[in-house]
Structure 1
Amino acid sequence: MRNRAFPILATLFYALTVLPWSAFAQITPSGAPVIPLPSGDVRKKAPQPGTPPKIQIGKAATKKLKNGLTVIVVENHKLPQVSFRVFVDFDPVLEKDAAGYADMAGELLSKGTTKRTKVQLDEEVDFIGASLSSDANGVSGACLSKHTDKLLELLSDVLLNPSFPAEELEKAKRRAESGLAAAKNDPNAIASNVANVLRYGKDHPYGENMTEETLAKINLDQIRTYYQTYFKPNIAYLVIVGDIKQADAFAKAEKYFGKWAKGDVPKHTYPTPKAPEKAQVAFVDKTGAVQSVINITYPVELPPNHPDVIPVRLMNTILGGYFNSRVNANLREKHGYTYGARTSLQSDRLVGSFSATASVRNEVTDSAIAQFIVELERMRNEPIPDEELQLVKNVLTGQFAQSLEEPGTVAQFTLNVARYKLPADYYENYLTNLQKVTPAEVQAMARKYVRPDRAYILVVGSKDEVSDRLKRFSTDGKINFFDPYGNPVRQVDQSAAANMTAEKVIERYIQALGGERAIAALRDVETTVEFDLSGMGKLEMTILQKDNNKLAVHMSMQGQVMNSRIYNDGKGKEESMMGGSQELQGDDLADLKEQAYLCKEAAYVTMGYRLLLKGIESVNGKNAYAIVVERPNGKKNTEFYDIETGLKIREVRTEEGMDGSPTTITTDFGEYKPVQGVQFPHSMTLSGAFPIPMKGIVKAVKVNAGIPDSAFELK
């Protein structure tokens, strides 16, 4: 028996690159383009500030219906279009052990009504060329002005008569399951989840993350109760922007939403999360990772109507809010640590946040954090040069002007003014107020809101390669470890490894498979594995092995062979439907040679591999021996063997991804079953090679069936 990750990966890489399936395209690192710069020292010749342009956004007219619905209308007759947004403004809800049901309720809101099925809704929206969507706080739509009544009828039906179909909930949960499976292996998603927990705590709505466990508890009763409790007109806004007269808009609002019944809505208050008193280091181990995701973060008290918001945005843009920001110039341009470094400082009615983020190579993780801190401290302690300040003001002015080209921007501005009690002319005077900000005000904002001394320094990466070098950033010299959902990781008892060696782990594995005699009796094995591509068909892998020196891997779809890799006693080749035939050499040939062994682990010593026992780690709730396997060519992978059963349950290795960059690939094995006295895994899940994990089910294993040598001919 042997690990089958490599032949499967090789052919899956081929399949998912030749087929036009954008959903399975490998996510690539964001390589920033080279931006041409004018000659000379541009910092000495910054554009002179001009008179801030007068922004004409459009006057908003407001009316409250009898049921309490606040209707806001902004006329704009430049184009024959109109947009609608119904926003129900209630306090965030703590979802507890069913975290995720609010977002799922929002998704299901537009998946069918008591009058229309989802298909009928979609057809009627498409027929008029409109858009209609829903979320946890309401519904939105846009159309040509001549279709206003039809779209309002549909929006009203969705908002007032949702049916929450059971079959749509099941579909939504399946999509969520796929998303969670992908997120569990995505270091950026992991960093986001853990940062939420660190900043806000799990007793705050912003600190809740959907998990497999909370998803399983979501049901229709919760979704209906959520809708019935919070979707009331007396706490809602209807924002209408576009080619429509105010009087007509108010009349239509009454016609389509006037029967929406008002009611009492519970209010929720939560303790305001505080930044840690001293800097703390938080770490999430991702075995085999070649990069670290850094997030220096903490909560910030900055409501959207606070006078600091505009100067804070200016300060953050200088620090890390655009391509030529200070942190990007330092970490990317000066030191070459990353493709991009950035900061964000978000306002929020309950609690905002600060984050400084980058993805960097393992070996420079500590150096990158140090340079982040250098720039954060420089922002606090050094005055901002006038030229740099004016340059960034010009950048923000351009961004603001460009945003006004989108009708949705005007609708959002109008809603913000109403929700946050902003001055009616807040956005019309935005650029004027931006230009008034002084260098002293920017530095005052940095000293108030930029606090590296009271931050969570979160890193997702390789514990073995990185963690020990981060202790110096923690005030108490400690590192706190977390799982991908922000739960503290308890240190695994290492006592079982005291008298164990890597060689003994492999010996236990051989015995768990069935013993040396059973392994030696293997002459040939044929394995068929099926991968479900999430509704896009099935990939079938047929793997043939013989005599520890012959291998054939065929990948097919709908009966058609798309790719084959064959190895026969030192020679190998690949044949593909698109690329013809080519001889394999180097690492590709070495990979096939290794996979040709009927039990490669039993041959580690004879193949000259070096083995090292790292210790004991937890894998999906099971304690496992972790051993590092190093080939003669220096390539390494980490293998995990269940302490209780002795069987291999995970293998992690770094390979070249489809975009050419290093990719950490995790293969999980399970459902071992005996076939003629030898245990074979009957399920395997590949994570990291593709945007979503690929689960394979072993459909058949044939042992010593007499595979002919002709199956391995190199034609």
Structure 2
Amino acid sequence: MLNRTIAPESKPVESITLIKPEHIKLDNGCNIFSFNSGDQELVRIEWIFQNLRFDPAKPLLNVAVNTMLTEGTSEMSASEIADRIDFYGAFLQVDYGYDHSQVVLYTLNRHLAKTLPVVKAIIGDSVFPESELETFIRNQQQKLQVSLQKNDVLARRAFNKAIYGDTIYGLAANFEDYKTLHRDDMLAHFKKMYQPSNCTILVAGKVDAEALQLVSAAFGAEWPNYTVAADTGNPDMQPAGEHFYFIEKPEALQSAIRMGLPMINRTHPDFPALQVLNTVLGGYFGSRLMANIREDKGYTYGIGSGLSSLEKGGAMFIASEVGADVCRAAVAEIEKEISVLKTELIPEEELSLVRNYMMGSLLGSLENVFSHVDKFKSIYFSGLGYDYYDRYTETVKKATPEDMIALANKYLDLDKFYRVIVGKY
């Protein structure tokens, strides 16, 4: 009989094993990476494109073009595209990120030959109907109007603008920006961006020879490059000179806090160790910020910190919404916790808990082949190899209190922090 009063024995995670892809480069310059794993007759295919150079005069082109890919081709309307995908029990979506945009298809293997032509049509023949563009602009302006009433949204927009400056990362769209969207510009943008030399295809699931052949044939010789190469270069981050921003809302019951500073990204050797430090500070439910500002002080329901890794830089940020009457006290407590990290060694018991949490989280995140693909994307688009995860696991397992206090003093300079408050202060 199992004795449930005795906790099961726990063992540390020693290492992880990642599924590595097969690689094909087609004659048109398109790269295909395939991850064959699993018995279910299902595949996920991602077409990933690097966004074109950010144009401050037309700031919404990248996101608008990607979002409207499924709104119609020369032969299919938006409803016909949706009906064809639904008929085969497949799922199609478009996703936009600061550095890359993608089209994602989930489909059963036996329906791949029927669903791939739909994706091929939207990637090669989207037309952005004028009526759909007008609807898109109207809907986005309405969403923006609602979002701008939220303190946390205003804080995030102001923080990103301060940290990243006039780059795509710092974009805070306004009503006037949507007036710069015109169909001709979107068509020109589409032709330059959605071409094979600017595309990486990731195929995961039960990827047999037939499935790979279907993908290669559909997006190979019959998909030519445009006459103009994709210009994907972007300027580096341009942090603002001002470090404190206060947007007053006299009637606010809660104040949104956003604090942080420009930071290294995944390509820097210190990044894995910095993730350990961030986890101690505010990266999980048992973090110091949660213990102090939620559990002890009761200033908020939730607070956390994080690291963003982008192609042209990164940032460390702390975010929370607290009672308006305790906002100033909450900021002081955040700064105190940062100062403690710089002056006192983290107890070995606490650091051991964080190490085990991070290793367990990494292992738990690899639940299926699609999770392995996501890990691949993190390194591939950062120009890194699989040895990154070897370094990551070794760094996490061997992190010492001395390492952490050295990192805190190297990177967490409170004089360089940006602080954004929306509400009362």
TM-score relative to the length of structure 1: 0.55
Is the Cα–Cα contact under 8 Å of residues 109 and 135 in structure 1 kept in the other structure? no
Unpaired stretches in structure 2, ≥5 consecutive residues: none
Q: Give the paired residue count.
A: 412
Q: Does the aligned pair in 1 maintain the 2:159–2:419 contact within 8 Å?
A: no
| Residue matched to 1:214 | 177
Greater helix share, 1 or 2? Answer: 2
Among 97, 115, 126, the alignment partner of 2:86 is: 126
Aligned counterpart, 1:80: 41
Does residue 63 (structure 1) correspond to residue 27 (structure 2)? The answer is no
Number of the residue aligned with 2:56: 96
Is the aligned partner of 1:111 residue 2:71? yes
Could you tell me which of 254, 273, 298 is aligned with 1:336? 298
Alpha-carbon shift at residue 369 of structure 1 (Å):
0.6
Secondary structure in 2 matching 1:159:
helix
Equivalent position of 1:171 in the other structure? 135
SS of the counterpart of 1:96?
coil
Aligned partners of 1:285 and 1:460 also within 8 Å:
yes
**Could you list the per-position Cα deviations for residues 61-103 of structure 1 after superposition, in whole angstroms to 9, with x for gaps in the alignment?**
1111000001001101232211001111245x32324332321
Which protein has greater RCO, CA pairs closer than 8 Å, 6+ apart? 2
Match in the other structure for 2:308: 346
Q: Which residue of 1 aligns with 2:319?
A: 357
Residue 53 (structure 1) shift: 4.3
The 3 A distance-change label for structure 1 pair 197 and 235 is same
Q: Provide the aligned C-alpha RMSD in A.
A: 2.3
Q: CA deviation at 1:260?
A: 2.0
Cα distance 1:281–1:51, how it changes in 2: closer, same or farther (>3 A)? closer
Structure having the higher Rg: 1
Aligned pairs for 1:523-538 (under 5 A) are none
| CA distance in structure 2 between the aligned counterparts of 1:225 and 1:319, rounded to whole angstroms | 46
Instruction: Decide which of 197, 200, 211 is 1:237's aligned counterpart.
Output: 200
State the Cα deviation string for residues 143-167 of structure 1 (Å, max 9, x = none). Answer: 1222222222221111111121222
- Residues 89-140 of structure 1: per-residue CA shift (max 9 Å, x gap): 245x323243323211111111112222111111111111111112442311
The yes-or-no answer on 1:148 pairing with 2:112 is yes
Matched, 1:378 2:337: no
Other structure's SS at 1:422 match = coil
Structure 1 residue 249 displacement after superposition: 4.4
Secondary structure of residue in 2 paired with 1:98: coil
Aligned equivalents of 1:382, 1:78: Cα separation in 2: 51
Q: Distance in 2 between matches of 1:249 and 1:413?
A: 22
| CA spacing shift, 1:433–1:60, aligned 2, 3 Å | farther
How is 1:166-565 mapped onto 2 (pairs within 5 angstroms)?
A: 166-201=130-165, 203-245=166-208, 247-258=209-220, 259-263=222-226, 264-274=229-239, 280-300=243-263, 302-427=264-389, 430-462=392-424, 466=425
Determine if contact 2:91/2:105 at 8 Å carries over to the other structure: yes
Task: Determine if contact 2:266/2:382 at 8 Å carries over to the other structure.
Answer: yes
Q: Is the 8 A contact 2:19 2:369 kept in 1?
A: no
Residue 13 of structure 2 contacts residue 356 of structure 2 at CA under 8 Å; is this kept in 1? no
CA contact (8 A) 1:275 1:454 kept: no
CA distance in 1, matches of 2:12, 2:250: 54
Provide Cα deviations, 1:34-66, integer angstroms capped at 9, x if missing partner.
xxxxx9xxxxxxx976252432x3221111100
Letter of the structure 2 residue corresponding to residue 80 of structure 1: E
Deviation at 1:419, TM superposition (A): 2.0
Change (3 A) 1:324 1:262: same
Q: Match of 1:270, as an amino acid?
A: P
Whole-angstrom distance in 1 between the partners of 2:10 and 2:347? 14
CA gap 1:359/1:229 in 2 versus in 1, 3 angstroms:
same
C-alpha separation between the residues in 2 aligned to 1:155 and 1:256?
10
- Alpha carbons 2:22, 2:33 under 8 Å: kept: yes
* CA separation of 1:406 and 1:285: change in aligned 2, threshold 3 A: farther
Deviations 1:422-444 (A, max 9, x none): 22354477545431333322333
Q: In structure 2, what is the Cα distance between the partners aligned to 1:118 and 1:274?
A: 41
2:13/2:359 contact within 8 Å kept: no
Which structure carries more strand by proportion? 1
Please report how far the alpha carbon of residue 186 of structure 1 lies from its aligned counterpart in structure 2 after TM superposition: 0.7
Relative to structure 1, the CA distance from residue 72 to residue 100 in structure 2 (aligned partners, 3 Å threshold; closer, same or farther) is same
Letter in 1 for 2:22: A
Per-residue CA distance 1:640-671 (angstroms, 9 max, x = gap): xxxxxxxxxxxxxxxxxxxxxxxxxxxxxxxx
Report the AA paired with residue 109 of structure 1: L
Q: Secondary structure at the match of 2:152?
A: helix
What is the CA–CA distance in structure 2 between the aligned matches of 1:227 and 1:310, rounded to whole Å?
36
